[in-house]
Amino acid sequence: MAHGRAIPNRTLLAALTSLAALLAAATSEAGSALSPGGVRPDSAVATLRVETKPPGLMVLVDGVRVGRSPIGPLWVAAKPIRVQALSDDPRRFEPGRDTVVVTPDSGASVTAMIDLRPSVLLRSHPEPAALFLEAPGGAGNDSLLGDTPRRVLPSRLELRTFRLAAPEHADTTLSGEAILALAAGGAPVTVALRRNAPHMPPAPPRAPRLVHRRWFQIALIGAGAALTGTSAVLRHEADDWYDRYLDSSDPQEISRSYDRTVHFDRLAGAALGTGQVLLTAGIFLLVTSVTR
């Protein structure tokens, strides 16, 4: 009886052992076939690497935390993949640029780059100034990005050259690396443009002053000579009235002749003095202008 009861126990033990072996083999096969992304390598898969700027940010792939950047390669399905980077201090970075969507092809290897560095506020003195992205190799087909002040992403600054232009100022060229270095502390970058000397048309030649004009000098001489001659006529008239004054015996005629004599005498003196001044001034101006 004891021998008959031992046979079923051995059979049951062997069956349990076989079942455990089968379960272990299935588990081992499933574990070796699953990738870090939870996808079997024999299906339509691709590999994904994730890099961030700055590095060390927590990475989520389709909402699952997979570690800190840089990380990979990860086996992922060949379908749209949502990759997100989280910062320990979200206030350090600008919102809206922490997520990218990549769609790898089957068997492809892709790299997702997430740049969370804050944009650089580029200013100029004076403002506004036109901001150009220079073409590689100085081809001359520079691209206008807009006017300052303007925010520029760090990824757009790297390995590029920019030019600032403003009216009456010299163009200023600087590299994106120089801008990033100046913005390392987070402050705006202000570029002072050098002012050009304003282009002024040549001043018209100054017209000679009135006293240096030839016709004016001749007019002075003519007026002086005319007044000098008039003084002689007036003097003669005064002498005539003086003779009447001496010859007259009528008291009224005597008074009238005297007054006329004094009047013409004064006119003659004024005409002579003025004429001599004008004549002398005209001759002086004429002589000095010829000798210049």
DSSP sequence for 198-215: P--PPPPPPPPPGGG-HH
Q: Is 256 a residue whose pLDDT tops 90?
A: no
Q: Are residues 216 and 271 in the same domain?
A: yes
Domain final position from 61, 92, 116:
116
Q: Round to whole Å and give the CA distance between 235 and 226.
A: 14
165 with 129: CB under 8 angstroms?
yes
Least confident of 43-47, 59-63, 226-230, 240-244: 43-47
Q: Round to whole Å and give the CA distance between 246 and 33.
A: 155
- pLDDT mean over 71-93: 86
**Nearest of 160, 71, 159 to residue 114 by alpha carbon:** 71
- Residue 172 burial by Cβ neighbours in a 10 Å radius (0-12, 13-18, 19+): middle
Residue pLDDT, tens place only, 96-139: 788 999 999 999 999 999 988 888 889 999 999 999 988 876 55
* Structural domain includes residue 140: yes
- pLDDT mean over 174-179: 88
- Confidence class of residue 35 from pLDDT cuts 50, 70 and 90? very low
State how far the alpha carbon of 215 is from the alpha carbons of 113, 157, 222, 223, 275, in Å.
Answer: 87, 72, 10, 12, 17
Question: What's the number of domains the chain is made of?
Answer: 3
Q: Is 26 a residue whose pLDDT tops 50?
A: no
212 with 145: CB under 8 angstroms?
no
* Structural domain includes residue 15: no
Q: Is 2 a residue whose pLDDT tops 60?
A: no
Q: Is 280 a residue whose pLDDT tops 80?
A: yes
89 with 77: CB under 8 angstroms?
no
For residue 100, the cross-strand partners are 83
- Confidence class of residue 58 from pLDDT cuts 50, 70 and 90? very high
Q: Is 209 a residue whose pLDDT tops 80?
A: no
* Structural domain includes residue 97: yes
Q: Are residues 284 and 217 in the same domain?
A: yes
- pLDDT mean over 259-273: 90
Q: Is 11 a residue whose pLDDT tops 70?
A: no
| Between 73 and 30, residue with greater pLDDT | 73
- pLDDT mean over 34-39: 44
Q: Are residues 181 and 224 in the same domain?
A: no
Q: Is 46 a residue whose pLDDT tops 50?
A: yes
- pLDDT mean over 39-49: 72
Residue pLDDT, tens place only, 146-172: 899 998 888 888 888 899 999 989 999
Q: Round to whole Å and give the CA distance between 93 and 86.
A: 10
Q: Residue 107: which CATH number?
A: 2.60.40
**Nearest of 131, 187, 192 to residue 163 by alpha carbon:** 131
| Between 276 and 43, residue with greater pLDDT | 276
* Structural domain includes residue 55: yes
pLDDT, position 291: 60
- Residue 85 burial by Cβ neighbours in a 10 Å radius (0-12, 13-18, 19+): buried
Q: What percentage of the chain has pLDDT greater than the value 90?
A: 25
Q: What percentage of the chain has pLDDT greater than the value 70?
A: 78
66 with 59: CB under 8 angstroms?
yes
- Does the pTM surpass 0.95? The reply is no
pLDDT, position 142: 81
ω into 8 cis (within 30 of 0): no
- pLDDT mean over 37-44: 52
Pairing of the two strands 81-86 and 58-61: antiparallel
Mean pLDDT over each residue of the chain, to the nearest integer? 80
Q: Are residues 240 and 260 in the same domain?
A: yes
- pLDDT mean over 2-24: 48
Q: Which residue has the tokens 């081992």?
A: 28
Full domain range(s) for residue 249: 210-291
Domain final position from 116, 138, 169:
116
